[in-house]
Amino acid sequence: MTAILLSFATFVSTLGGGFFALRFRDRLHLILSFTAGVLLGVVSFDIIPEIFGMAQAHGLDADKAMVALVGGFLLFHVLEKTVLIHHAHETQYAAHRHPRAGVLSALALIGHSFMDGVGIGLGFQVSQSVGIAVAVAVIAHDFCDGLNTVSLMLVNRNSSRRALVMLLLDAAAPMLGAAIAVRLQVPDSVLMLYLGFFAGFLLYIGAADVLPEAHSQAGPGLTAGLFALTCLGAALIFAVTRVTG
C-alpha cells in the first residue's frame, strides 16, 4: 500500500511538468533545449549507471543491455524513416510535421514511467527503506518526464488535447506499475534489457528530434543560450541522481 501511495506523488509531479510545458508553449524552443539536456542526463547519469549496477550486483552481462541500447536507437531511426514517412532532408528540419512521431516518443516515455512504478514496487519488496529511496528518486525526476512528454507531442505538431491525454497516461503509468510490481517478480535480466532498449530510444529522441527542432525554431542569436539550457538540463539530472542515488 505504501508503494502505491508514494506512486501517487509521481502522478502529481508528472502533471506539474506537463502543465508547465503547455503553459509556456510559445517558448517551446527554450523548453526543448532544456529537455534535450534532461534526456541526455537521464541516459548518462541514471539509466546506464543503473544497468551496470544491476549487472555487478546480480552477476549479469551488461553487454546485452548495451546491444539493446543500440537496438532501441536503430529501431526508432528505422520507424521514423519508414513507418513515419520521414521524407524531408535534414536541412529542412523545421518543416517536419509528424504527429505519430510525437505519439511514439510519448509512448516510450510512458513505458519508462511504468517501469519507474515497477521499480518502486520492487524496491518495497526488498525493504521499506529501499522502496522509499527509489520513490523519492522517481518523484524528483518525474516533473521532467511530464515536461518531456508534452514537449515531444507539441514539437511534432500534435494538439494540446492530445498532449494532455498522453500526459495523463504518463502520470498514471507509475501507479499502475507499482500496483503490478507489488504482486509480481520481474527478473533483473529482463529489466536490465528494457533499460538498455529505452536508453537507445531516449538518445535518438534527444539527438535526432528534440535538439535539432529547438535550434530550428530559434534565431541564430539564441544559439549560445540554447546550448546553456541543454547543459543545464543535463546538470540538473546529474545533481538529482547524486542527491537521491
Query: How far is residue 150's CA from residue 169's CA, in Å, rounded to a whole number?
Result: 11
Residue pair 118/182 in contact (Cβ under 8 Å)? The answer is no
Q: How confident is the model at residue 228 (pLDDT cuts 50, 70, 90)?
A: very high
Residue 37 confidence (pLDDT) above 70: yes
Residue-level pLDDT at 180: 87
Q: What is the pLDDT of residues 82-126, one digit of tens each?
A: 654 444 444 444 445 567 777 877 887 788 788 778 878 877 776
Domain residue spans in the chain?
A: 2-244
pLDDT in tens, 53-71: 889 988 999 999 999 999 9
pTM of the complete model beyond 0.75: no
The C-alpha atoms of residue 32 and residue 213 are separated, in whole angstroms, by 8
Residue 238 pLDDT > 70: yes
HEC per residue, 109-140: HHHHHHHHHHHHHHHHHHCHHHHHHHHHHHHH
- Look-up of cell digits 504527429: 99
Closest C-alpha among 175, 180, 223, 233 to residue 202 = 233
What is the predicted pLDDT for the residue at 88? 42
- Calpha distance 145→199 (Å, rounded): 14
Each residue of 123-170: pLDDT tens digit?
777 667 667 766 766 776 677 778 878 877 887 778 888 888 999 999
More confident residue, 44 or 137: 44
Among 151-165, 173-187, 211-225, the least confident range: 211-225
The pLDDT, as a whole number, for residue 31 is: 78
**Cell triple for residue 88?**
524531408
Higher pLDDT, 228 or 29: 228
- Distance separating alpha carbons of residues 244 and 123, to the nearest angstrom: 14
- CA dihedral in degrees (161, 163, 165, 170; nearest 10)? -160
pLDDT of residue 160: 84
**Residue among 16, 4, 3, 6 at smallest CA distance from 142:** 16
Higher pLDDT, 51 or 2: 51
Under the banding of pLDDT at 50, 70 and 90, the label for residue 220 is: low
What one-letter code names the amino acid at 41? G
Alpha-carbon gap, residue 230 to 243, rounded angstroms: 20
